[in-house]
A and B are shown apart, each in its own frame.
Chain A
Amino acid sequence: MNRRPFLRRLMTALARTPAVGIGIASLLLVASLGLAYHNEGQIRGEKIREVEVQARVLAASLAGPLAFDDMAATHEYIDALKASPDFDAVGAYDTKGRLVAGFARSGEPLPPTNRIEPPRVRGTEIIVTTPVEQGDTQLGSVYVGAATESWSRRASRYLGIAIVIVMACLLVAVLGAFYASVSAANRRLQAAIAGRKGVEEALRQAQKMEAMGQLTGGVAHDFNNLLMVASSGMELLDRTTDPVRRERLKDGIRQAIERGAKLTQQLLTFARRSPLSPEVLDVGERIRGLQELLARSLREDISVELDFAEGLWPIEVDPSQLDVAILNIAINARDAMPNGGTICIGAHNYPAARQGVHDMVRVAIRDTGGGIEPELLEKVFEPFFTTKGVGTGTGLGLSQVYGFVRSSGGDVRIESTPGKGTTVFLLFPRSSQPLPRGNRGDGAFSRAEHDATVLIAEDDEHVATLVSEMLRELGYKSKRGATAAEVLRMIEESGPFDVVLSDMIMPGKMNGLELAQEIVRREPNLPVVLMTGYSDAAASATAEGFPLLVKPYTMEALGDVLAEALRTTGPPAQNAAS
């Protein structure tokens, strides 16, 4: 268990500096030198023993000749050793230690008298003296001087292995240095990448800011027109009493406001900050419901065909965003067909081709327009990319599509043949949830089934008044508190309330979200619905699990959210009390 961290530490150390590699190489070298020295000692010991044995053999052979003055035999035995180059000097001595016979090849001559001594090494010579004995009677002695291995022979013995070791050490050192330099380069690269990422992030932000700046003109123009419609409509409304005309003016104003809201929504979707509230739905059914709106947005010379396969899988997406996406693509198709044509919207199940990939539902929107040049195909999803004239398009249509599809876990592809038409494919992952049953679809508002009381937490008096009007229309009773403290006090004193509807931005120490949390802490059964126009605030409210109304909202949405909140949080307080 301990070895891995140690190895890792070693590798890290190795990577830090080439010195470690070189150090290891030197250690190896020293170790092999030590081994060689040890070996050399062993070999020398063996050689000494070998010479001793030979001296003993000689001594045994010389026992008779020395005892009985057989010079011929003595010389014969000594000459036999002379034949071997290993022996430098061999001498036979009598009982008194006097030299009888022998030879000295080179260097020092034979000592004239011999003394029995333990083996010793003198220079490059091993000297062994052995008594010549028969039984326990000493008959003389021998002196044998043998050459240790010569330097050249020793060197040749070690040369091969030395070369291998040196090469290995070099290799280790070079590898260590290389590894260190590579990892240093890697660290530099990592730092460079990190730096570049930061720069890219900053650049993206800068581009966004610049784009926003450029957008301001276009959006301001659009808004200006809408405001113009609204303000002049209001003015005209005051001056006329003709109900038909008043109705038409109100329609115009409502449409202008809706367009403004839609534009804001598109911008938020582009920024990908608008909270998505996905629902499980049948994409065919949803688009069929959109047909009326499509027909109104498109021109008369453009026909819309729908072709949905049977048994489409359900998908889980934000329905209003889906509507916007389909509308955006359809409007682009319309603009690509100035002389009229057909838009075909179809959807098919798109089963996963292999394991690990989701089943998808593929929506295809095909037009018979002029198509897109191949080099522009890559750019169409970029924000603010537009081929339309100034004031006509914002370049945000297809980026809304892109942002929406990607945040729904799907994908978008575009295929186009210039002169033939363009097809946009939207791929959505199949949902494992079943379709909710009993979709209302009658356009009626969710009305309160009894006189439920709503406590409104809203600092803006105008908004509060408007909201309480809408609540009255929906069949609710309402009370209003302007600050968090007041709202809490009212819950204590003026209750009971069935639901609290709170703005997220509130004056005072507590904001709407904190107020909601405090209410849940005090009254777990009292539902709280939050409302906001800020996408950041909306995200944090959804994260906390509170139902949310995104401003501006319709009466229908208000009614739905309140009805849902009352249904899921349990019976109303009044019922619980009775």
Chain B
Amino acid sequence: MGSQARVASRFVTGRTRAARLAILLGLLTALRGAAACAGAPTEHAVEARYLQKFAPFVQWPPTAFESATAPLAICIAGPDPFGPRLENAVRDQHVNGHAIVVRHVDAVRPGMGCHILFVAGDGGEGAEEALRAITHEPVLTVTDGDGGVNGSIIQFVMVAGRVRFTIDQNAAQNSGIAISSKLLEQAVNVTR
């Protein structure tokens, strides 16, 4: 993790503030890495936050919700890398009148009532197949790119030690959800 911080500091030399932040981040990571388990918590914390923040930038078809006040479900398939962080992050959060709830699902299948589906890590066998099964469902599928699971709309990637993401616009269109240009702008790569 220490080497990561150094790389980051070199990368953002021009942006002093960001650089300092990165260094701080790196330092923190290093410290925490030394104290507890290796590196992952910070990365996953950011991902947890982002998962929740995708919601305002995405527009689901009205059929995706049972009612105007039906909750917006963020589903975690497979092992949960976030722990209580995601639960904490979404507590009391609303998006367009929908309360955000977190659900854990064992298996991915059509019509399971998820709006955002995160398939963590490698996702296990058949994850990619499962994603293909819900290609045409209005579900924002998110995978951790490092896990090597393909076929999702959004993939988290690490760029210069920071959590970024790519967006597959085609997949989004297939699933019938609309992604705000603001979110597209934030993506490191957009597949059209």
Contact = CB atoms under 8 A, between A and B. Distances in A.
Interface stretch (A59-67, A356-364, A450-458, A538-546): A59-67
A72 interface: yes
A85 to B, nearest CB: 23
B185 A64 contact: yes
A65 B186 contact: yes
A68 interface: yes
Interface size class of B (residues with CB under 8 A): 20 to 34
B105 interface: no
Residue with the greatest number of chain B CB neighbours at <10 A, chosen from A69, A136, A139: A69
B46 interface: yes
Contact of A136 (B95, B165, B183, B185): B95
Contacts of A137: 53, 55-56, 93-96
Contacts of A69: 46, 162
B182 interface: yes
Contact of A134 (B56, B164, B185): B56
Interface stretch (B15-23, B35-43, B140-148): B15-23
A536 interface: no
A308 to B, nearest CB: 121
B15 A67 contact: no
A236 interface: no
A75 interface: yes
A91 to B, nearest CB: 13
Contacts of B164: 68
Contacts of B21: 71
Given A136-B94, A137-B93, A71 B18 contact: yes
A234 B65 CA distance: 157
A70 B97 contact: no
B95 A64 contact: no
Nearest to A137: B56
Nearest to A136: B96
Interface string B77-111: 00000000000000001111100000000000000
B30 to A, nearest CB: 19
A65 B96 CA distance: 20
A101 interface: yes
Given A134-B57, A136-B97, A67 B17 contact: no
Contacts of B185: 64, 73
A25 B97 CA distance: 63
A135 interface: yes
Contacts of B95: 135-137
B17 A134 contact: no
Contacts of B180: 64, 134
A71 B15 CA distance: 9
Contacts of B97: 136
A63 B181 CA distance: 11
Interface in A43-76: 63-65, 67-73, 75
Interface in A123-182: 134-137, 139
Contacts of A68: 50, 53, 164-165, 186
Nearest to A101: B17
Interface string A267-307: 00000000000000000000000000000000000000000
Contacts of A71: 15, 17-18, 21
A63 B57 CA distance: 9
A101 B21 CA distance: 12
B21 to A, nearest CB: 7
A72 B46 CA distance: 17
A71 B46 CA distance: 15
A138 B18 CA distance: 23
Interface string B29-69: 00000000000000000100010010111000000000000
Given A71-B18, A75-B15, 16 more contacts: A64-B180, A64-B186, A65-B186, A67-B50, A67-B53, A67-B57, A67-B186, A68-B186, A71-B17, A75-B18, A134-B182, A136-B56, A136-B94, A136-B96, A137-B94, A137-B96
10 contacts: A63-B182, A64-B180, A67-B56, A68-B53, A68-B164, A73-B185, A75-B15, A135-B96, A137-B93, A137-B95
Interchain residue pairs A-B with the least CB separation, the first 6: A134-B56, A64-B182, A137-B56, A71-B18, A135-B56, A67-B53
